Structure 1
Amino acid sequence: MDIGLPELKAFVAVARHRSFRRAADEAGVSRSSLSHALRSLEQRLGARLLHRTTRSVALTEAGGQLLARLAPVLRDLDDMLDAVGGSGEIAGSLRINANEGGARWLLRAAVPLFLERHPRVSLDLVTEGRLVDIVAEGFDAGVRLREAVPQDMVAVPFGGPARFIAVAAPAYVAAHGRPETPQALLDHRCIRQRLPSGKPYRWEFAREEKNIAIEVPGPLTLDNSQLMVEAAIAALGIAFVPERYARDAIDDGRLVELLGDYSPPLPGLCLYHSSSRQTPAALRAFIEIVRACDKGEGVDRGS
């Protein structure tokens, strides 16, 4: 089957960006030439790879299977060609899918040093709440809390343990009292969290090896930890957030921590990648810097 490398690279670019325009801009070609390359590839394979509308691009089942197997091969090929070139300088692209807390840690600690040391690498850091299949969606690595990392992945811990805490403004506590147990939250105004799936998050506590999950009541639902902290500061109710988001407000008295005995530390963040293929040079370099920054920074209460 006579299929050229440019067609395969065109498919991977469109599949990653879910956009012909963004893929064409990245490749420095016209959208029409990119569309022609994709049509030619689909004809030669005898399979539809993409669902196209005027507003969106989505992978078909065949397209997802091809991307999962093809993207690692192309990255390995780029690494091999760079090595043969003999420059010794790492080049190419690195795509990482992270939650918001993980992205903040990386941007503060690892990313500046990585970009300084490896200027020929293009780093694409995508933040979203949902847990994605990093292989199927063309990412080199992901960042999530350890409990969310798939078991078949190689996990690199960083940032120290994470802790989720209940917080409220002193004015709210003065007006409504302080809950002494998680069950007491059922009698309070809580700032609920909406998960990426659309479902409300059940607040999770633990004490003496007993786990407690509470579906809290409340008139306000948000999907962002920083906004939840701001709402709590405004005395709109009790929020349940990663400690790092609330720490400054606790230290300066704008918030107070509640139910501290029910909020033990949890395993923290991990950078993770597939164990089924050779690790790209750019990712190896990024992992080294993450580990070095983690040792130098110590415990970070992020999520």
Structure 2
Amino acid sequence: MLIIVANDVIFFSERANESIHQLKYALEERQFAKGEGEVGFDQSSVHRDNDDSRNCQNRQEQQHSHAVNQLKILLQQQERTESEVSLSRRKMSFSKLPEDATGDLPALSDLIPIINDQSQYINHLEAEVKFCKEELSGMKDRVQVVVLENEELHQKLKFLTAEHMLREQTLLDASANTQNSWPVGSNDCIIRQPVTSSLAHNKDQAFVTAAVAEVGKWPVELEKLKLLYQEKVNILDAQIQSLRKDLSESQKTCRDLEGRLKHQKSLVSATNSIRVGGLCLKCAQHEAVLAQTHSNVHMQTIERVTK
């Protein structure tokens, strides 16, 4: 349409230029005729033919009037063309409105795959929730096993520490009793016995110190393991809560879409009537557009959850 209007404008402008050139040419001829008349009047006799001059003037006036009439006709044609173009544009704009309104309505063939995909998404989310529950229960069992093993090791270390301390005390008591039982004259044996007992005492003391240090490390390691597994349990709990929330939203969306599908079917079955399900045809189309927009939002939410 714009190309046609542009071509018309170019055509009318060319015609107007031609008319203007004709006017200029007529004016130049008139001026030239006047100049020739003056020269002829000076050079010729007084008895010039007046009829020829009158005919020339009449012919020039006719040319002028013809050029003016052509300009008027061109201007009127251009005005009519512009008015017709504006009316055609208005008609086209009005005719496009109902097409756009009907084009926004979702088709039944588009709604049925959405419902089927919703059921698949729900099954996928249920499988993920089940998997997370199984992982969480397995993690709890492993944590319980580790805690029991740590408690057993802690009890064993306590028992070993007590046994070494008792053995050390027994050796000290035995060495003291032996030292008291030696005769006074046996100086060599008296000197050798304290050296042996001191070596054994140092060895046992080093072992006990290492055992106590190892026992002191076990509660710290156990606490670290508890914190680590507690963090994992919290993460899995949060994932389960999020998946449950997404599952409930998906189920709600599925129910909403099923209701919309039923409503759309009822609208399609009653297209020949003026009223559709208590609503006019325009209101029903508006409801269908809103349903499509709402379903698109839920589809985006479900795609984000599944990713």
In terms of fraction of residues, the more strand-rich structure is 1
- The structure whose RCO (Cα within 8 Å, separation 6+) is larger is 2
